[in-house]
Structure 1
Amino acid sequence: MKPDEFRRVGHEVIDWIADYRERIETFPVLSPVAPGWVRDHLAPLPEQPEHGFDGLLHDLDTVVLPGTTHWQHPSFFAYFPSNASLPSVLGDLLSTGLGVQGMLWATSPAATELEQHLMAELAKAMALPDHFEGVIQDTASSAALVAVLTALHRHGDDWRNKGVRGDEVVYVSGQTHSSLAKATRIVGLGEDNLRSIEVDPDTLAMNADALAAQVARDRADGLRPILVCASIGTTSTGAVDPVEAIADLCAAEDLWLHVDAAWAGPAALLPEHRHLFAGVERADSFGANAHKWLLTAFDLSLYWTAHPDTLVQALTILPEYLRNDATESGAVVDFRDWQVPLGRRFRALKLWAVVRWYGLEGLRQHLRGHIALAEALEAKVEHSRDWLTAAPRSLALLTIRHRDGDQATRDALLRINASGEAYVTHTVVNGHFAIRVAIGSETTEARHVDALWNRLEA
């Protein structure tokens, strides 16, 4: 493809994306196709070049779109948002167009230094401590794995050469994201080395006293506690763990404290909600996803650590073919040592595009608007004869259940999702089936939330 061909076809692709976003509300939010439908409608790969995108765009319209669940739809209330704002789409295009591989400073100085600048500026805007140093991971799952690996290195006896001893213990709550369980498994520790601490039945936050008691029991049994994950905004209900109390324990017991704020983290941009982040300044690592609530196309996860040297020591491997003068000088950062994979995309460019387009104040308005919509929905639930909250509202996440019980709640969820007019998911709270309403799409307005409420009340 020559640059002039790219220009012509690129205009067609941009037009297709723009048209799709303009008509996104005409599609059912949840794809209605049966398993295998998409594959059955795809043609064999062409033997000869097509020299155009006409056929590909036709297949997008006739095969891909029917098989797509529309995450950018304003009535997408499932899981958490995955905002691919159009400025971030263009930023991603620029990153891909440059085609750099930023594993070393030397392989693209701009990729490294723009990321350093962006992470430092965001930390300042979110009132994070000055001693935090940041790096972009792909997802919060990778961030959790990096945290566990760094904790193992800090607490291990020659861990890099000998691996885990098998007596290391990681602590989560029953509400912690499953990525911590997976990370524990990946590093070679089994389920027996993961402790699920009880939560407060009202707030669903980790019980710090129960955590302290479990750590004491494990030490008495000759085990080695290494890491606690505290959550700010759990996936199930948005619960906020008592980070201050957990930080006290971690300081006393020399445990790595990882704070997972994958969804709620961007709310630190809002001064009125910074009380939720009390104690984060004492964490060893802190993660928040820009690809959930911060208008940035998947994947881009923000990860800060108070101990970058320990992280690099845990993950660095320097074969001869990666040696270069800049690295040897010690004057630069090579982000390959801050993550699990060697290669890395120029992800910072799409987040930079977002911040430049909206400005920090625009991002704050985006967050506040969703919180206000959730507050309005909460008020409707409080005055409803049929619905009640299953857990306290957390920012823009509301968890509700029907007064008539689990089956009535389940029936409402199935009815809404089958209609194609909205998409919600469920969780279980204190034994009760509940619906999660996660408000976060860039184009969601009061009319979309009101329409969802009318369907719930039907």
Structure 2
Amino acid sequence: MDAEEFRRAGHAVVDWIADYWATLGQRPVTSSDPPGTITAALPAGPPVHGEPVDAVLADLDRVITPGLTHWQHPGFFGYFPANTSGPSVLGDLVSSGLGVQGMLWATGPACTELETVMLDWLAGLLGLPERFHSAGRGGGVIQDSASSATLVATLVALHRASGGRWRDVGVDRRYRAYTSTQGHSSIEKAARIAGLGDDGVRPIEVDPDTLAMRPEALRAAIRADLAAGEVPTIVVATVGTTSTTAVDPLPAIGAICAEYGIWLHVDAAYAGAAAVCPELRWAHDGLEYADSYCFDPHKWLLTGFDCDAFWVADSAELVGALTVMPEFLRNAATESGAVVDYRDWQVPLGRRFRALKLWFVLRWYGVEGLRAHIRSGVALAARFAGHVLADDRFELAAPHPFSLVCFRLRPGDENDVRSGDEINAALLARVNGTGRVHLTHTRVAGRYTLRLAVGSPQTTGRHVDEAWDLLSATADALLTEPPPTTGRPPTTERPPTG
């Protein structure tokens, strides 16, 4: 493909994406095809002779898009948003076209320096403590996801707690990590990979009303481990838990970590983006105690996956934990100590030029454009919560400080947890089965609970109202039809996992 062929094909691909976005609202949010449909529609092997881009685009329409869950759809309310945007796609296109390998400053000086500046821009935009800015001992880096950020934080915490010995003799199973019972599953995975094992994570009780970590329970767990000869190593506090967007009390948790010398990592993967709005920065109160912090611009800040922003207060600890220097990577710039080599800030060696898409997004939208996007999501969630509160058949299951609403349909018998679970599972399966919306579920206080997460830039008040009307009408049908004789939800569909 020469330059002119690329130009023609590139125009066709951009036109295809623009048409896809323009027609998203007319498509079913999810595919109804059974497993194996896409596999059966694809040939057994690659073509012997090359094919034109037009043929590939035709198969995108014929084979691929009908088999997708459309995460950018205005009716997609599942999980957390994973948004992209025009500027982000263009930045990714430039990154792919440049093909830069940014493992060292020397392999891509602009790649490294733009990333450092973008993370400083983001730190200022979110009002993060000065200790996370690159002008001091700290600084930021782009990881692929918050899961990788948690793993890196765990490794650096082990490095500190062991005085670096873990790199030489392996991980002592006496090291302990702490997070709330609402913490993300990536915390357990990080503990496994780091060698702590499943037993290395201490789940901490939450307040029954706020669903946030109880500081007194954290202190008790730390004291018990110290008395047993264990080594408290890292606490992972969450700003915006996955199930309900609960916010752990950072000031109290941070004070405990400071008292015992424990690394504090704050996981704000979803809700951290809200801090671009000054009125929502209350969720970061106490962040000055944190040793590391992360959030995902690829969730709620219009930047395509993958892009996690991760900061540390002391980059020397991070580099000390992860640096490995083979001879073939030695170079004058690194030896001078005057540059940042981001390969030392992550688990992989290689890295893409992710900062470009962030740069495009920040420049296109500007501070006020990003604030408008966040405020729209919060307002639309509040609008949906208002519908729930106005209907006695439904109830809110948790506070909704951001753009996620957790709710459920009340069963006929308020004391029958099973019947409540069954009717809500049936409600979710039926509304998702229409193809008009997509929601997910979780459990709150042991009860099956529906989640509606607003985030798509195409979602408007009309889409939220249509989702509510569909839920309301489906609830009418469920509450008036005879109960099933099998004791199972009156549907053959399996509700999706939350």
TM-score by length of 1: 0.99
1:234 aligns with 2:241: yes
- Counterpart position of 1:441: 456
Q: Provide the secondary structure at the position in 1 that maps to 2:131.
A: coil
The runs of 5 or more residues in structure 2 that have no matched partner are 133-138, 412-419, 474-498
- Residue 87 (structure 1) shift: 1.1
2: distance between equivalents of 1:198 and 1:284?
Answer: 23
Please point out which of 135, 154, 157 is paired with 2:160: 154
Counterparts of residues 8-157 of structure 1 (less than 5 Å): 8-132=8-132, 133-157=139-163
1:237/1:394 contact within 8 Å kept: no
- Counterpart position of 1:453: 468
- Counterpart position of 1:7: 7
Letter in 2 for 1:416: V
1:170/1:226 contact within 8 Å kept: yes
- Counterpart position of 1:431: 446
Letter in 2 for 1:341: P
- Residue 43 (structure 1) shift: 1.2
Please point out which of 382, 386, 392 is paired with 1:385: 392
Please point out which of 202, 205, 213 is paired with 2:212: 205
- Counterpart position of 2:414: none
- Counterpart position of 1:225: 232
Deviations 1:413-438 (CA, angstroms, capped at 9, x unpaired): 11111000000000000011000110
Letter in 2 for 1:441: S
2: distance between equivalents of 1:359 and 1:271?
Answer: 15
- Counterpart position of 1:415: 430
- Residue 51 (structure 1) shift: 4.3
1:388/1:402 contact within 8 Å kept: yes
Letter in 2 for 1:364: R
The runs of 5 or more residues in structure 1 that have no matched partner are none
- Counterpart position of 1:259: 266
- Residue 52 (structure 1) shift: 1.4
Deviations 1:203-255 (CA, angstroms, capped at 9, x unpaired): 10001100000100000000000000000000000000011100000000000
1: distance between equivalents of 2:317 and 2:152?
Answer: 11
* Residues matched between the structures, number: 458
2: distance between equivalents of 1:445 and 1:281?
Answer: 36
- Counterpart position of 1:328: 335
1:310 aligns with 2:317: yes
- Counterpart position of 2:353: 346
Q: Greater relative contact order (Cα 8 A, min sep 6): structure 1 or 2?
A: 1
Q: Provide the secondary structure at the position in 1 that maps to 2:67.
A: coil
- Residue 50 (structure 1) shift: 2.1
1:234/1:240 contact within 8 Å kept: yes
Structure 1 vs Structure 2: percent identity of aligned residues?
A: 54
- Residue 188 (structure 1) shift: 1.0
Q: Provide the secondary structure at the position in 1 that maps to 2:457.
A: coil
- Residue 46 (structure 1) shift: 3.2
CA RMSD of aligned residues (A): 0.8
2: distance between equivalents of 1:407 and 1:359?
Answer: 46
- Residue 190 (structure 1) shift: 1.1
2: distance between equivalents of 1:438 and 1:326?
Answer: 46
1:393/1:399 contact within 8 Å kept: yes
- Residue 394 (structure 1) shift: 2.7
Letter in 2 for 1:39: T
2: distance between equivalents of 1:49 and 1:271?
Answer: 57
- Residue 407 (structure 1) shift: 1.8
Structure 1's 245 and 326: CA in aligned 2 closer, same or farther, altered over 3 A? same
- Counterpart position of 1:291: 298
Q: Provide the secondary structure at the position in 2 that maps to 1:65.
A: helix
Q: Provide the secondary structure at the position in 1 that maps to 2:151.
A: helix
- Residue 49 (structure 1) shift: 2.8
1:372 aligns with 2:379: yes
1: distance between equivalents of 2:248 and 2:262?
Answer: 16
- Residue 47 (structure 1) shift: 4.0
1:171/1:194 contact within 8 Å kept: yes
2: distance between equivalents of 1:48 and 1:2?
Answer: 20
